[in-house]
Amino acid sequence: MAPRRVKPSLYISVDIEADGPIPGPYSMLSLGASVAGVQDAEGFRAADPEERTFYRELKPISAEFVPEALAVSGLDRDRLGAEGAEPVQAMREFTDWVGEVRAGAQPVMCGYPASYDWTFLYWYLIRFTGSSPFGHSGCLDMKTLYATKAGLPLRAVVKGTMPRELLSRRRHTHHALDDAIEQAELFANLMAWPGPSRP
């Protein structure tokens, strides 16, 4: 029996900054993405995370915001209201960018943790473009990946307790592109990591 052909996955590290806990009442203010690498039947190959990137700042979609959430990114809602991209334009440009970098592979969003960023990203894609280049489930959570490889309960996982060699040397700045690049390096390290050495 011939081996089943595996379609490659292109992993794209995504980070978003938002002004509240959920999309709709609150707004995604910036979106950063970095190609982390590709995986096929031969294995995973890391990419230079600075080589293929995407970044946009977006106009808010409502007047509501949570001051503590806004303070995390340091973004100025008034400035974004005047200078930010219209969400429909930003999400179309992002979809086009994913189409350019995917090169025949299936794009997979990866994040740390993916749940928050995916919630905003998927909602915005469907709301403003009607579709998602990742489908409805093409996301991978780095926190879950680490917990599985390390044999730990998910809620026990925090970056500060990970082996140092897994972490990027870049600072986590809460600038969406900086953090997408940092997390692309973490993802590549996790994919190459065999797990903790056992006595």
174 catalytically annotated: yes
Buried b (16+ CB within 10 A) or exposed e, 119-138: bbbbebbeebbeebbbeeeb
Strand partners, 126: none
Start-to-end Cα distance in the chain? 40
Report residue 167 as tokens. 């972490």
Cα distances from 165 to residues 67, 93, 114, 195, 199, in angstroms, run: 35, 35, 21, 12, 19
Tell me which residues are annotated as active site: 174
